[in-house]
Structure 1
Amino acid sequence: MSVRHDARPRIALTACILHEDPDRRLFKGKALQFSEQKMAHAVWRGGGLPIQLLDLREREALEQAIAASDGLLLQGGADVAPSSYGEEPLRPEWSGDAVRDRHELAAVEVALALGKPILGVCRGIQLLNVALGGSLYQDIQTQVADSLVHRDWHQYEGIEHGVRLERDSWISAVFEGEQFTDPETGGPGLLTNTIHHQALKQVADTLEVSARAPDGIVEAVEDIRGDRWVAGVQWHPEWLDGSEVGGPHRSPGNPVFERFIDACRERASGK
């Protein structure tokens, strides 16, 4: 489906899921599917129209919904299940959400087949890597020596670190003129939030690493060539809107969504 030149591209947001919980006071025993509010706002600010991609457990529904959209956005949320990349969980609490994985893996497959641009955010970059044949660290602190603290429940989005950008990458181009110079490398960099304990381990063969944290953790990937536009970031740019904890001293998030939605608009119009 193509959009009118003056219409906003329709961006399918994969749903975050709260599974059936008999002890939850609201919608007791019912499964909930939802979007985080700032993600929806970020898509709108970037020029798109956010559309919720619900998991109806029907392949036909998934195919029709993505065909009627101009791009796919994989939201953050629960851990990716180790079983989705052929591993057993190192701890029970790292078992992840295999139900959501199945839905999103299928969504990536459909979007790629239809030539729709894809953006993955936090969990989304991890799911994207798994969908394309890569694997994950189940827990950075456990599996990566001398790593930074990438998640602290009590500080949550208050934690930040620099991100080193690869020259000539999509993310470097997105932030041209808004970067700071990395003091260690002298190259381009960003200052972002960090709210994740999993990370890319074996990067999928088709993906190129376009940014890393100072400890080497992958922070952005891309596959932007020919008929494919696929990218992901490990931080949460939707929360970097000027109202975040500590004030707007970090690199802004809007450029990430603007570039993604521009790609969706270009593909929809046949450019």
Structure 2
Amino acid sequence: MPAAPRLKIGLSACFQHADPARPLFTGKTLQYVEQSIAHWLMSAGAMVVMVPCPTGETARGDVTLDHYAEWLDGIVMHGGADVWPGNYGEEPLREEWVGDRVRDIYDLALVKAFAEVGKPIFGVCRGLQLINVAFGGALYQDIETQHPGARQHRNATTYDQHFHDLHIVPGTHMAKLYPDTPRARVNSIHHQGIKRVAPEFVVEALSEPDGVPEAIRLQPAPGRGYIAATQWHPEFHKQGSDTLDDTAILNDFLAACEQAKAHPRPVLRPAPSLRERAARRLRKALSRQRD
């Protein structure tokens, strides 16, 4: 018998914007994927495809993110830059926390495209924060300065060798994935984090001892698809180490992709952006004036 077709998993693009200080890259935007997360998905036999941003000064043709969402079996949202606080109704408290607004626009549109056709979505680090904001949640711009009693969640020197303890919430889907692991150790490479969980999402894991959400999932319901995310990087787990084994998380996501491939179903629509909401209010006001 011929081998079953491999899953085609999209991976959101990371951005390197044109830098006037580097003549070679002046006027150029680079889009790329991180090797570690691509190899993580490939380790289970999936084919990995970077989903490039289809807009910008050099854009040509009619390919859209909707086309990728129809073609691919699921999407993984990369880690990376901060999410712009304006996306959840706040002003940046520091200039260095502005994030990457161009990438935000692309990422939010990518999540929307996959959600609307019921394809599974998994987020890692920034991906968790972006998903939470996309569906109406909010973030701490900086955990250590905004969350009382917060522990250190990022160390610039140790980077992926910085760890903290994790509490897996009983009764959640993640608890079922790790039935004998109520507590674990994970890497921690972030300074932003979830302040308000998006409606319709549940928290599946919390950092210890400060209780910052470290894993979220769209609440299961009849006819509803799969959206989940972790604040830590499961792809950084090394076999034989004392950090949480990533295998169950990866297999769970890919199993959801197989199921959605056979039985596609739409999921929760992302919350409208502040700009979209303002535009709607303006249209209503103009309509009332005409009436």
Same fold (TM over 0.5): yes
Does the alignment pair 1:206 with 2:200? yes
Root-mean-square deviation over aligned CA pairs: 1.9
Counterpart residue identity of residue 171, structure 2: D
What is the CA–CA distance in structure 1 between the aligned matches of 2:244 and 2:169, rounded to whole Å?
A: 16
Q: What pairs with 1:1-271 in structure 2 (closer than 5 Å)?
A: 6-24=4-22, 27-57=25-55, 60-177=63-180, 179=181, 188-214=182-208, 215-223=210-218, 224-225=220-221, 226-242=223-239, 248-270=241-263
Deviation at 1:44, TM superposition (A): 0.9
User: What per-residue deviation string (whole Å, max 9, x for no partner) do you get for residues 220-257 of structure 1?
Assistant: 01113332211010000011133xxxx61211223211
Give the match's secondary structure for 1:267: helix
Residue 85 of structure 1 contacts residue 130 of structure 1 at CA under 8 Å; is this kept in 2? yes
Deviation at 1:5, TM superposition (A): 7.8
Q: In percent, how many aligned pairs have the same letter?
A: 39
Deviation at 1:174, TM superposition (A): 2.1
Residue 54 of structure 2 contacts residue 63 of structure 2 at CA under 8 Å; is this kept in 1? no
Higher RCO by CA contacts (8 Å cutoff, separation 6 or greater): 1
What is the CA–CA distance in structure 2 between the aligned matches of 1:21 and 1:168, rounded to whole Å?
A: 48
What is the CA–CA distance in structure 1 between the aligned matches of 2:3 and 2:122, rounded to whole Å?
A: 22
Q: Which has the larger radius of gyration?
A: 2
**CA 1:175–1:24: 2 relative to 1, 3 Å:** farther
What is the CA–CA distance in structure 2 between the aligned matches of 1:227 and 1:56, rounded to whole Å?
A: 28
Gaps of 5+ in 2: 265-291
Counterpart residue identity of residue 208, structure 1: V
Give the match's secondary structure for 1:221: strand
User: What per-residue deviation string (whole Å, max 9, x for no partner) do you get for residues 55-92 of structure 1?
Assistant: 11278511101110011111100000111111110000
Deviation at 1:23, TM superposition (A): 2.4
What is the CA–CA distance in structure 2 between the aligned matches of 1:110 and 1:194, rounded to whole Å?
A: 29
Counterpart residue identity of residue 213, structure 1: S
- Equivalent pairs, count: 255
TM-score, normalisation: structure 1: 0.89
TM-score, normalisation: structure 2: 0.83
Deviation at 1:25, TM superposition (A): 6.8
Deviation at 1:28, TM superposition (A): 4.5
Counterpart residue identity of residue 214, structure 2: E
Counterpart residue identity of residue 218, structure 1: P
Gaps of 5+ in 1: 180-187
Counterpart residue identity of residue 94, structure 1: W
What is the CA–CA distance in structure 1 between the aligned matches of 2:102 and 2:3, rounded to whole Å?
A: 37
